[in-house]
Amino acid sequence: MTMAALSSPHGRQGQTTGRIMLEVILACVPGLAALTWFFGWGTLINIVWLALLALGLEAAVVKLRGRDIRFFLSDNSALVTAILLGLALPPTSPWWLGLTGIAFAIVIAKHLYGGLGYNPFNPAMVAYVVLLLSFPVEMTTWVLPRGATDQLPGFVTSLLMIFPFADPAPAVDAFTGATALDQFKLQRGGMLVSEFRQQNSLFGRWSGLGWEWVNLAFLGGGLYLLYRRIISWHIPLAILGSLLLLSALFYDGGSSASHGSPLLHLLGGATMLGAFFIATDPVTAATTVRGKLIYGVLIGVLIYMIRSKGNYPDGVAFAVLLGNFAAPLIDYLSRPRTFGHPE
Amino acid sequence: MKASPAVDVRHGQMPGGITPEENKAQSLRTPIRQAPVPPQLLIPVTQPAWMEPELLVEPGQAVLKGQLIARSRQPGGIAVHASSSGIITKIGQHGVPNVSGLPETCVHLDTDGRDQWLDHKGNMDFASLQPADLLHLIAASGISGLGGAGFPAHVKLLHTPGAIHTLIINACECEPFISADEALMRERAGDIMAGIGILLQILRPRHCLIGIEDNKPQALAALAAVLDDERIEICRVPGRYPSGAERQLIALLTGEEIATGILPVERGILCQNVGTAHAIKRAICHGEPLISRVTTITGAALSDPGNFEIRIGTPIHNLLNLCGLNRQALSRLIMGGPLMGTELAGDELPLIKTSNCIIATTEAELPCPPPAQPCIRCGLCADVCPVRLLPQQLYWFARSREHHRATAHNLFDCIECGACAWVCPSSIPLVQYYRAAKGEIRAEQDLHARAEQARQRYESHQQRQAEEQARQEQRRRERAALAGGKARSGDAAQNKIQAALERVKARKTARPNEDKQ
């Protein structure tokens, strides 16, 4: 009797890359639900649109590269990219915005660098930044959240806003505008924080109206990922910790020079999405334990710097990309001490 | 007798580690059984690297159980004994369970079924023996480490008194499926403890720590019940693979991390396996050489798995049939555990001294790995690495053949425990990459060493040539100087020649017939 000989180990634990990606998708559901509740059906429609495009593009590129399409689609990574980009785009962004973004993400940011595992930058964030720089108006026009308007777009309206082929197109200006972080940054004009919040209908209890709940929902999804050991606590904690510290240091009691309360920052904009879902993308993040902490702090500091000193109301995408740049160096400099070796 | 309770390990810790399903219960349902004498034994006479076996028997010769049939030509080898009585039919190359798959010289012994012992006797009073005598007896009994590496026990134990301060007895048996040591501890704790006593007699360390995983309470209780030496302490370590790896266990028990490249004995620590302690006791107290061992025969392809006392050289198919092999279900045969074991090329191979477990597995139990997906750098591998390496970085370096970077990331500290590949969600055969990279780097270093040697030889050749030339030049100059000197002292020389010629002429005239004779 002769048998095939394989090299040890001869077994493995059951986790697969495809399932890890599915868990990430599952963990996005609360955030997606919150976004849909506060901003209408647009995000969900966008995600379906982007997912279809992502799978098609992934299949096309994989075929061009002469690989097995089914095998490479089974890792579900293109779906994750589509969903993360869909969550980041304004809910009523037109179809071509999503198309441009996801094409850039899948074809250029992912496959031109070698495909899954080889891309140095988070594809969804590359696409987001490309869109933000190229189409600033579309990218900063958000639906007013439930509570700030009584005209929340319904399913059909959202669909028609994304695919504006109906005649006549619905009037959109009535219920879109800038986000709370945007307004806080650009339109405060020397007011006290409390004063501004009273005047502005876009603020809720702790942060942007609706946004605070969206962030709490993403926090919940992130805790699920931690519980399932899909991600480790190091990166989110470092990001949130450094953001909390800086915003508390420079809150300045809510004076006219204040850069906003810690809660405004922690529960505003894309903080939780970025901390738990974007920055933790293992391919582009630092991988050593110390490295993850450094990487997280770097991103947290950059988010705060961009929000308070930069030109953009939110800085998660830029911060993550800058973190991606630094990740290989951070990894190199933060190698753990090998067993038995001196420090 | 003092039943000292086991202490939990407080000292050190092991980085990483995994807790795979144990799969030990199926082979622990029954006590250790005696495997019958097979019709034919295939006894390998394999010696440690670079040593040659010297055969002491020839085909046609009758041998008795326990008779020495081969030894090493060099000192420090392993004595090989007949595991049963019978007739030697053939001595030739045969496959053995090793990693390389290369055949080794084996003695084919047709057993006569009488299983007749050679006269032997032991000495229960080992305390009266000197360490040197004990070592001699251990060497003559052919005892090699039964934990895995199979290093000759008498070589490992040869130390100046006091050089070893801590003797560690490895009772961890951390790999899934394997339960041979556990069964041995449950049933023969007294023998093991006596073996440890002999080791203490030889090494005279200050203390002895028995490291046992916390998932073997019965074995621990059995050991604790026979513990009667102040120097011995039973230490419970967390049941986490690879706590039984030598250096990891040392770190757990003493807190001391010993890097690859340093032998634990250089730090005064020596490890022995419980199975080896048991074999040493049999050898010293009963005069029985190592001709059998307890091995786990398990796996889902067997209807009746268990632990067996098996004669060395028993063909594996005999053992599988004994355990009710379902040949249709059998997918792979593994010697050792699923994490570090060797896959066997066939079931006609013999059981050897280091075979602690044979797993006859099915596709459902240990499925073949699916094709590898891309590495997503999830870092699970780094979390479980017991050496604190960065496996995914090493994988990139190995893949892109960046050998200097792999070496700088301490590739050679990898113990190939397989924890990284076990948890890899992309099913990447990481250990295989590391083995290949290590092999390539060693080949490269070998090439460099040979190139360096060639360069040195060429340079010294050139230097010799230059020196030779210089010497010739020197001689030429001396001759020239001499010639110049002659020219100046020409008259004196001429006179000398003239005088010599005259002396010859005078001799010839004095004895005119001499030349003609």
pLDDT over 90 percentage in chain A = 56
Torsion region of B143: left, alpha or beta (phi above 0 gives left; psi -120 to 50 gives alpha): beta
Residue A184 has pLDDT above 70, yes or no: yes
Within 8 A of A232 by CB-CB distance, chain B residues are 379, 383
Q: Do B101 and A75 lie within an 8 Å CB cutoff?
A: no
Strand pairing class (B80-81; B166-171): unpaired
**Which whole number is the average pLDDT over B93-100?**
86
CB B93 within 8 A of CB B105: yes
pLDDT band at B517 (very low <50, low <70, confident <90, very high): very low
How many Cβ atoms sit within 10 Å of the Cβ of residue A37?
15
Mean pLDDT for chain A?
A: 87
Residue A11 has pLDDT above 90, yes or no: no
As given in the structure block, the two tokens for residue B90 are 């053939």
Closest partner residue to B346 among A3, A10, A331, by Cβ? Answer: A3
**Which whole number is the average pLDDT over B462-485?**
91
Within 8 A of B390 by CB-CB distance, chain A residues are 287-288, 331, 335-336
Q: Do B422 and A337 lie within an 8 Å CB cutoff?
A: no
Q: Give the DSSP letter of residue B385.
A: -
As given in the structure block, the two tokens for residue B472 are 């010739």
Residue in chain A nearest B379 by alpha carbon: A287
A333 in contact with chain B, both atoms CB, cutoff 8 A:
no
CB B20 within 8 A of CB B240: no
User: What does the pLDDT read at residue B498?
Assistant: 84
The model's pLDDT over B291-326, given as tens digits with 9 standing for 90+, comes to 999 999 999 999 999 999 999 999 999 999 999 999
Within 8 A of A287 by CB-CB distance, chain B residues are 377, 379, 382, 390, 392-393
pLDDT band at B148 (very low <50, low <70, confident <90, very high): confident
* Residues facing B87 on adjacent strands: B62, B110
* Residues facing B295 on adjacent strands: B308
Give the integer Cα–Cα distance in Å for B495 and A215. Answer: 122
CB A313 within 8 A of CB A182: yes
Burial of A19 (0-12, 13-18, 19+ CB in 10 A): middle
Q: Do A3 and B348 lie within an 8 Å CB cutoff?
A: no
**Residue B424, min C-alpha distance to chain A (Å):** 8
**CA dihedral for B48, B54, B57, B58, sign (positive or negative):** positive
Give the integer Cα–Cα distance in Å for B146 and B124. Answer: 22
**Which whole number is the average pLDDT over B107-115?**
92
Residue B150 has pLDDT above 90, yes or no: no
Closest partner residue to B341 among A10, A19, A71, by Cβ? Answer: A10
**Which whole number is the average pLDDT over A42-63?**
95
User: What does the pLDDT read at residue B368?
Assistant: 86
Residue in chain A nearest B14 by alpha carbon: A339
Q: Quick one: which of B256, B253, B274, B275 has its CA closest to B266?
A: B256
Q: Do B338 and A11 lie within an 8 Å CB cutoff?
A: yes
A2 in contact with chain B, both atoms CB, cutoff 8 A:
yes
Mean pLDDT for chain B?
A: 89
Which residues, in sequence order, are CB contacts of B310 under 8 Å at separation 6+? B35, B292, B293, B294, B295, B319, B351
Q: Give the DSSP letter of residue B271.
A: E
User: What does the pLDDT read at residue A164?
Assistant: 81
Strand pairing class (B306-311; B33-34): parallel
Within 8 A of A115 by CB-CB distance, chain B residues are 374
Lowest mean pLDDT of A236-240, B272-276, B512-516, name the range: B512-516
Residue A195 has pLDDT above 80, yes or no: no
What is chain A's Cα-based Rg?
21
The model's pLDDT over B11-64, given as tens digits with 9 standing for 90+, comes to 678 889 999 999 999 999 999 999 999 999 999 998 887 888 999 999 999 999
User: What does the pLDDT read at residue B516?
Assistant: 47
* Residues facing B272 on adjacent strands: B169
pLDDT over 70 percentage in chain B = 95
- What is B107-164 written as a DSSP string? EEEEE-SS-PBPP----S-GGGS-HHHHHHHHHHTT-B-SSSS--BHHHHT---TTS-
How many Cβ atoms sit within 10 Å of the Cβ of residue B36?
16
Within 8 A of A16 by CB-CB distance, chain B residues are 373, 425-427
**Residue A159, min C-alpha distance to chain B (Å):** 35
Q: Do A3 and B377 lie within an 8 Å CB cutoff?
A: no
Beta strands across the sheet bearing B40-44? B40-44, B104-111, B86-94, B62-63
Q: Do B247 and A339 lie within an 8 Å CB cutoff?
A: yes
- What is B173-225 written as a DSSP string? --STT--HHHHHHHHHHHHHHHHHHHHHHHH--SEEEEEEETT-HHHHHHHHH
Q: Quick one: which of A109, A24, A30 has its CA closest to A75?
A: A24
| Side-chain-side CA neighbours of residue B95 (13 Å) | 15
For an interface test with A, which of B18, B390, B402 has the most A Cβ atoms less than 10 Å from its Cβ? B390
**At residue A329, what are phi and psi to the nearest 5 degrees?**
-70, -45
Closest partner residue to B432 among A7, A18, A288, by Cβ? Answer: A7
Within 8 A of B396 by CB-CB distance, chain A residues are none
Residue B152 has pLDDT above 50, yes or no: yes
Give the integer Cα–Cα distance in Å for B208 and B229. Answer: 10
The model's pLDDT over A217-244, given as tens digits with 9 standing for 90+, comes to 999 999 999 999 999 999 999 999 999 9
**Which whole number is the average pLDDT over B456-467?**
95
CB B460 within 8 A of CB B466: no
Residue in chain A nearest B412 by alpha carbon: A338
Q: Give the DSSP letter of residue A87.
A: H
Higher pLDDT, B75 or A36: A36
Q: Do B339 and A10 lie within an 8 Å CB cutoff?
A: yes
For an interface test with B, which of A3, A10, A74 has the most B Cβ atoms less than 10 Å from its Cβ? A10
Give the integer Cα–Cα distance in Å for B175 and B22. Answer: 8
Amino acid at A159: L
User: What does the pLDDT read at residue B3?
Assistant: 44
Residue numbers of A between 163 and 202 with CB closer than 8 Å to B: none
Q: Do B257 and A71 lie within an 8 Å CB cutoff?
A: no
A282 in contact with chain B, both atoms CB, cutoff 8 A:
yes
User: What does the pLDDT read at residue A276?
Assistant: 96
Give the integer Cα–Cα distance in Å for B464 and B318. Answer: 65
For an interface test with B, which of A2, A6, A12, A289 has the most B Cβ atoms less than 10 Å from its Cβ? A12
* Residues facing B171 on adjacent strands: B212
Residue A127: C-alpha distances to residues A190, A317, A318 (Å): 34, 10, 11
Within 8 A of A282 by CB-CB distance, chain B residues are 376-379
A4 in contact with chain B, both atoms CB, cutoff 8 A:
yes
Residue A174 has pLDDT above 60, yes or no: no
pLDDT band at A179 (very low <50, low <70, confident <90, very high): confident
pLDDT band at A51 (very low <50, low <70, confident <90, very high): very high
Q: Where are the alpha helices (DSSP H) in B287-342?
A: 316-322
Q: Has the ipTM of the complex gone over 0.90?
A: no
- What is B66-91 written as a DSSP string? T-EEEEESSTT---EE-SS-EEEEEE
Residue B487 has pLDDT above 80, yes or no: no
Residue in chain A nearest B425 by alpha carbon: A16
First to last CA, chain B: 106
The model's pLDDT over B398-419, given as tens digits with 9 standing for 90+, comes to 999 999 999 999 999 999 999 9
CB A143 within 8 A of CB A39: yes
Closest partner residue to B247 among A13, A75, A340, by Cβ? Answer: A340
How many Cβ atoms sit within 10 Å of the Cβ of residue A256?
13
Residue A191 has pLDDT above 80, yes or no: no
Give the integer Cα–Cα distance in Å for B241 and B260. Answer: 19
Residue numbers of A between 5 and 24 with CB closer than 8 Å to B: 5-13, 15-20
Which residues, in sequence order, are CB contacts of A189 under 8 Å at separation 6+? none
DSSP reduced 3-state for B302: strand
Residue B1 has pLDDT above 50, yes or no: no
Residue A342 has pLDDT above 90, yes or no: no
A283 in contact with chain B, both atoms CB, cutoff 8 A:
yes
Amino acid at B108: H
Q: Where are the alpha helices (DSSP H) in chain A?
A: 17-27, 29-39, 42-64, 69-73, 77-88, 95-103, 123-134, 136-140, 155-162, 180-186, 193-199, 211-227, 234-249, 262-266, 271-273, 289-309, 316-333
- What is B396-416 written as a DSSP string? HHHHTT-HHHHHHTTGGG---
Q: Do B343 and A336 lie within an 8 Å CB cutoff?
A: no
**Which whole number is the average pLDDT over A8-17?**
86
**At residue B300, what are phi and psi to the nearest 5 degrees?**
-70, -15
Closest partner residue to A339 among B386, B390, B423, by Cβ? Answer: B386
Residue B106: C-alpha distances to residues A298, B56, B57, B65, B112 (Å): 64, 13, 12, 16, 18
Residue in chain B nearest A336 by alpha carbon: B388
A311 in contact with chain B, both atoms CB, cutoff 8 A:
no
Residue B509 has pLDDT above 90, yes or no: no
Q: Which residue's entry shows tokens 């190698």?
A: A335
Lowest mean pLDDT of A138-142, A189-193, B217-221, name the range: A189-193
For an interface test with A, which of B267, B320, B377, B399 has the most A Cβ atoms less than 10 Å from its Cβ? B377
Residue in chain A nearest B98 by alpha carbon: A5
